[in-house]
């Protein structure tokens, strides 16, 4: 039954990744946050985690170990009419490339779908084993 724990851990990790990407896309134009500057892109860091208490099983799932801020500097654009423009007319925009975020979202979706398929295949194998056990 530990195979279900592996798939479930991956589904949870990809869900967090998709939520983080959605937050990045939603804040692609946010020039002022509570911290004072523009929104900073966030990224999810995964790590392996054992799903059993027996280390000899070597069966690992995945978990989100951290959500980190991107180190790239904000993008500066010239827009003197913007309310957050500095004295020279420049506005610091978030360091988010919406196309890159869409690609990341598609990759997270594909990984999520693959884990759903793995879960369903495992479920089908257990159901077949139960059917064979009844014979």
- At 39-79, the pLDDT tens digits run 999 999 999 888 777 767 777 889 999 999 999 999 999 99
Judge whether residue 111 has pLDDT over 90: yes
Residue 45 and residue 13: Cα distance in Å, rounded? 9
Picking from 19, 119, 117, 9, the residue whose alpha carbon sits closest to that of residue 64 is 9
- Over residues 20-32, the mean pLDDT reads 96
Alpha-carbon distances of 127 from 7, 8, 53, 85, rounded to whole Å = 17, 18, 25, 62
Residue 19 predicted with pLDDT over 80: yes
pTM of the full structure:
0.84
Question: For residues 42 and 21, what is the distance between their CA atoms, to the nearest angstrom?
Answer: 8
Whether residue 135 has pLDDT greater than 80: no
Question: What does the domain layout of the chain look like in residue ranges?
Answer: 2-134
Cβ pair 62, 50 in contact under 8 A: no
């Amino acid at each position: 039954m530990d195979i279900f724990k592996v798939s479930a851990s991956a589904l949870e990790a990809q869900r967090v990744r998709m939520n983080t990407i959605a937050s990045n896309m939603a804040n692609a134009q946010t020039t002022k946050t509570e911290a004072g500057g523009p929104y900073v892109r966030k990224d999810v860091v995964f790590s392996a985690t054992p799903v059993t208490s027996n280390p000899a099983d070597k069966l690992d799932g995945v978990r989100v170990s951290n959500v980190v801020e991107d180190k790239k500097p904000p993008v500066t654009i010239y827009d003197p009419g913007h309310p957050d423009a500095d004295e020279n007319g420049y506005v610091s925009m978030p360091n988010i490339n919406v196309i890159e975020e869409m690609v990341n979202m598609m990759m997270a979706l594909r990984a999520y779908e693959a884990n759903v398929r793995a879960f369903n295949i495992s479920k089908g194998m257990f159901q077949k084993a139960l059917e064979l056990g009844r014979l």
